[in-house]
Amino acid sequence: MRKAVFIAMALLLVAVAAPAAITTVDAPVADAVMKHDATRLKALLRQGADVNAAQGDGMTALHWAAMSGDAETVTMLVAAGARLEAVTRNGSYAPLHLAARSGSVAAVKALLDAGANVKAATSSGGTTPLHFAASLGDKAIVAALLDKGAPVDAKETAFGQTPIMWAAAYDRTAAVELLAARGANLKLTSKVEDVPAREKLDRAALTLRTRKVAAVKAAEAPPAPAGRGAGTAPVTAEDSAQAKKAAAAPIAATGPRGGGAGGGGRGGRGGSPSDSSGGMAIGTRGASYGDLVGNKGGLTPLLFAVREGNMKTAEVLLNAGADVNQVSAGDHSSPLLMATINGQFDLAKMLLAKGANPKLASDANATPLYATINVQWAPKSLYPQPVAQQQQQTTHLELMEALLKAGADPNVRLKKHLWYMSYNFDLLGVNTQGSTPFWRAAYGLDVPAMKMLIKYGADPNIPTEKPVGRTLGDDAGPADADSTAGDKSGLPPIPAGGPGVYPLHAASGVGYGEGYAANAHMHAPDSWMAAVKYLIEDLHLDPNARDFNGYNAIHHAAARGDDQLIDYLVSKGVDIMAVSRKGQTTADMANGPVQRIPPFVETLAHLEKLGAKNNHKCKSC
């Protein structure tokens, strides 16, 4: 469940205490209504008990009656002088908020008839009764609130979402239809969060805290010997200013596929739906989390519906005038892209039929075509990946062909690694910057997809781009990755942005010798040989191609212990004696090149028989 939901629900649960909660003040009337004790309530009212006495959390008798949906008791309490605008201590929830959230049209109408403020907003997020009614989806309550003047486009303050956005996210089709008919603006977007800026502020705050802790430790430590300083950098005014700014900045919720163009599960009932189009991820080295994510949020009602796969609600929004091609204000994801990222293939096909443009790309240059193949072979991760694609009538191949027929370009390259490709910590050891849909199909060993892409003009020779900075597993590499210093391969240097990893390397096992790809990589089963043979024999790719690390296809096959593929590559003339930029032979790649990756003993012996040199540098032995 997303952080946005936790925040909203936690505040609400504190505000709306359970019956067993201990009260800190004497509020017998509220206690009686809380316990549904009508006899006690009537007796207390006859005795003149204070009808507005609140429990410790601010809950009054009217709050309890509203939350229980007891319209008769609401009317009785109002007649006895209950204050309509009494609010809870935490969140400032009025009785009308709780009545709308409980789904009782009778209680809502009783409060409205008595003059309850239809525009009341909570202090915890600026949520109005109409937001709660929209998320619940009760048309009668929505209509009653609108009839009394509830602002149809009121924005709650936490995420800038309107009632129709809540209704769309929770698949409340009838409420969406009514809100749209009553003038809800379908072009409005929720708030945008600048993740890089937030990251910068967080880093400044962490730096300040680290320096303060170091300063305290230095002050408590024995005096340093003469001539030696404490080595603690002083806390500067700029440090303090940045940290204060970070502390004051609002923290927006992040979801499983927040930030970029990912989506995920919807929020809990009664709370704001998470305002991300997709969670937390640590990117490959050379780019920070903030750099990879960029901006997030800025979703329209249609984007909220599409992210969750709410097809009927999406159709209602489109019929009401929503723009099928309006992109998010965050990372500029289109509804079609968001549908494919989340594995909603049936919905994506419907959007295409409604005029969705398959060429629209996000800030990362991710397209619906790339996203379709990417989610089909989404790697295993510490955060759940989308699984909707497993329940679709439309297959990924059918959707890919529909996108290609509609004009999708099969050679569009990613401008940066997709942070949502492997959530939390990246185990793949692969940077997808510069990759094309064909490259992604090769990485997934998806021969049918590769053949389809070739049919529509895909170029199988386009590699990824060499990323800026050091990459996963290159700790033993050259001090300057763009020079030949320390380079054992004899290959010319490759600058950042130059050729990175070719489709042949993707299909032979890139990442297995540089990280822990075996724990995460998802691909077509038993297709290593088929994919490589297709690339070499049908597409005539250079079998001796080297990636930016200096590895050839045998290096990658050896890292997986794939003797069959090794023999095939040798038969095609691939150099078994090739040495990587770090000085690794093909045998070294089978000999536990990374800690916690045990050697493939039989493969190692096989490579040695073929002439490969074993440098005996097993890191896990």
Q: What's the whole-number average pLDDT of the chain?
A: 87
- What's at 191, amino acid-wise? K
Residue 384 or residue 518, greater confidence: 518
Does residue 412 sit in the same domain as residue 286? Answer: yes
Q: What is the mean pLDDT of residues 557-578?
A: 98
Distances 213 to 15, 220, 247, 444 between C-alpha atoms, Å: 36, 11, 17, 47
- pLDDT number for residue 215: 87
Q: Give how many domains the chain has, as a whole number.
A: 4
Does residue 238 sit in the same domain as residue 262? Answer: no
Residue 51 or residue 514, greater confidence: 51
Of the candidates 87, 69, 187, which has an alpha carbon nearest to the alpha carbon of residue 133?
69
Residue 315 or residue 292, greater confidence: 315
The CATH number given to whatever domain includes residue 560 is 1.25.40.20
Query: Given pLDDT bands bounded at 50, 70 and 90, which one contains residue 270?
Result: very low
Does residue 313 sit in the same domain as residue 390? Answer: yes
495 within domain boundaries: yes
- pLDDT number for residue 245: 54
Query: Given pLDDT bands bounded at 50, 70 and 90, which one contains residue 217?
Result: confident
Domain that holds residue 243: 192-214+234-251
Q: What is the mean pLDDT of residues 156-176?
A: 97
Of the candidates 490, 465, 470, which has an alpha carbon nearest to the alpha carbon of residue 482?
470
Query: Given pLDDT bands bounded at 50, 70 and 90, which one contains residue 305?
Result: very high
Lowest mean pLDDT of 27-31, 228-232, 419-423, 557-561, name the range. Answer: 228-232
For 452-507, the pLDDT digits (tens) are 999 999 999 999 999 886 544 444 343 334 445 589 999 999 999 999 999 999 99
Would you call 224 exposed, middle or buried from its count of C-beta atoms within 10 A (0-12, 13-18, 19+)?
exposed
Do the beta carbons of residue 345 and residue 396 sit within 8 Å?
yes
Lowest mean pLDDT of 168-182, 469-483, 548-562, 599-613, name the range. Answer: 469-483
Residue 402 or residue 16, greater confidence: 402
Residue 552 or residue 517, greater confidence: 552
Does residue 244 sit in the same domain as residue 283? Answer: no
Could you tell me which residues come within 8 angstroms of residue 539 by beta carbon, excluding any fewer than 6 positions away? Answer: 454, 460
180 within domain boundaries: no
For 36-46, the pLDDT digits (tens) are 999 999 999 99
For 343-361, the pLDDT digits (tens) are 999 999 999 999 999 999 9
How is 174-237 classified by DSSP, letter by letter?
A: HHHHHHHHTT--TT----EEEHHHHHHHHHHHHHHHHHHHHHHHHHHSPPPPTT----PPP--H
291 within domain boundaries: yes
Does residue 245 sit in the same domain as residue 258? Answer: no
Q: What is the mean pLDDT of residues 413-417?
A: 95
- pLDDT number for residue 386: 83
Lowest mean pLDDT of 7-11, 164-168, 234-238, 511-515, name the range. Answer: 7-11
Do the beta carbons of residue 263 and residue 278 sit within 8 Å?
yes
- pLDDT number for residue 383: 77
- pLDDT number for residue 423: 72
Lowest mean pLDDT of 140-144, 277-281, 503-507, name the range. Answer: 277-281
454 within domain boundaries: no
**% of the chain residues with pLDDT over 90:** 71
Domain end residue (candidates: 123, 151, 179): 151
Does residue 103 sit in the same domain as residue 38? Answer: yes
Does residue 277 sit in the same domain as residue 202? Answer: no
Helix (H) or strand (E) holding 424: strand 424-425
Does residue 18 carry a pLDDT above 70? no
Could you tell me which residues come within 8 angstroms of residue 374 by beta carbon, excluding any fewer than 6 positions away? Answer: 341, 366, 418, 421, 440
Strand partners, 193: 296
179 within domain boundaries: no
Does residue 570 sit in the same domain as residue 594? Answer: yes
Does residue 584 sit in the same domain as residue 531? Answer: yes
222 within domain boundaries: no
Does residue 2 carry a pLDDT above 70? no
Does residue 358 sit in the same domain as residue 303? Answer: yes
409 within domain boundaries: yes
Does residue 3 carry a pLDDT above 70? no
Query: Given pLDDT bands bounded at 50, 70 and 90, which one contains residue 280?
Result: very low
Give CA–CA dist 428/414, Å, rounded. 17
Domain end residue (candidates: 371, 405, 426): 426
- pLDDT number for residue 227: 53
Does residue 248 carry a pLDDT above 70? no
Does residue 357 sit in the same domain as residue 310? Answer: yes
Query: Given pLDDT bands bounded at 50, 70 and 90, which one contains residue 265?
Result: very low
- Give the pairing of strands 281-282 and 192-194: unpaired
Give CA–CA dist 509/507, Å, rounded. 6
- pLDDT number for residue 260: 38
- pLDDT number for residue 476: 39
- pLDDT number for residue 271: 56
Domain end residue (candidates: 151, 167, 201): 151
For the question of whether the overall pTM of this predicted structure is more than 0.95, the answer is no
Does residue 417 sit in the same domain as residue 484? Answer: no
Does residue 373 carry a pLDDT above 60? yes
492 within domain boundaries: yes
For 317-344, the pLDDT digits (tens) are 999 999 999 999 999 999 999 999 999 9
